Amino acid sequence: METCKTPAELRSHVKWLRKQGLSIAFVPTMGYLHAGHMELVHRAAQVADRVIVSIFVNPTQFGDPRDLETYPRDVVHDLAVLKAADVEAVFLPAAEDIYPEGSETIVETMRLATILHGEVREGHFRGVATVVAKLFNIVQPEYALFGEKDYQQLQVIRQMVRDLHIPLEIIGCPTVREPDGLALSSRNVRLSPEDRTAALVLNRSLCHAEALVARGATVEQIVAEVTAMIAAEPRATLRAVDVTEAVTLRPVSGKPNGPIAIMISAEFGGVLLIDQREATP
């Protein structure tokens, strides 16, 4: 497994792979890898000849410097599990390699980046789109894989790829969960035992919302009941419950007549968690 620390090193290795006629699937991560990340890696190996993974904690998508400082990191573990998964190369750039001195170009989806979760975390999706565009330009894969748990992020990236005519396919993969239903997240390690138990309310709320959709409930009823369920958990601080059209994330009201996305963001002991569910009436 190659470990590349600069864009030039990674591009050189990609050039060598291209000379052999090999296709590439790319999995961008911020490290502290868990089973959800590895599911993306395994799926990537099914669609392309070689898999490249990046590990980069992107500073421009963090609004709170403390959140950036406390984001969990374990590169030694990450490299070991990626090597065991037969990953071709890992890209481990420094911030100054991704954002050289004097950088001033950003990438932003004007509508998708400023609604829903983007209202809670101003500038977050601008940072995501900018770094992902840079990584795509460096790696130039045929495929890139992302988890559906970060549902709005996935739609932002799909929109960016369409708008900029980036020649690759975005593959979304289902959320991987613990046996008790908690969505896997690198942030989960920061939860106290009590907050981890409390965070199970997210999955329970989404299961209830899905059942409401099946029974013909209105969007307003879904939002009200999910909000009440989370409010009933004393350790949870609800940030947002959003119900939109799936994929487009456009507003929807009344009884849904097509697939919808239900997205929740909430804090537990100061740790922000998100979860989502697509549901069809």
186 is in an annotated binding site: yes
32 is in an annotated binding site: yes
33 is in an annotated binding site: yes
Residue closest to 196 by CA, chosen among 181, 211, 213, 215:
181
CA distances from 130 to 29, 124, 169, 274 (A): 14, 10, 18, 21
Let me know: does 190 contact 67? Beta carbons within 8 Å.
no
77 is in an annotated binding site: no
DSSP 25: E
Residue of 13, 37, 117, 124 marked active site = 37
110 is in an annotated binding site: no
DSSP 142: S
Q: For residues 135 and 98, what is the distance between their CA atoms, to the nearest angstrom?
A: 8
Q: For residues 55 and 12, what is the distance between their CA atoms, to the nearest angstrom?
A: 18
127 is in an annotated binding site: no
Q: Does residue 42 carry a catalytic annotation? A: no
87 is in an annotated binding site: no
117 is in an annotated binding site: no
147 is in an annotated binding site: yes
Angle between helices 219-231 and 200-214 (to 10 degrees): 160
Question: Which residue ranges make up the annotated binding site for (R)-pantoate?
Answer: 61, 153
The residues carrying an active-site annotation are: 37
Question: Which residue ranges make up the annotated binding site for beta-alanine?
Answer: 61
Question: Which residue ranges make up the annotated binding site for ATP?
Answer: 30-37, 147-150, 176, 184-187
Question: Which residue ranges make up the annotated binding site?
Answer: 30-37, 61, 147-150, 153, 176, 184-187
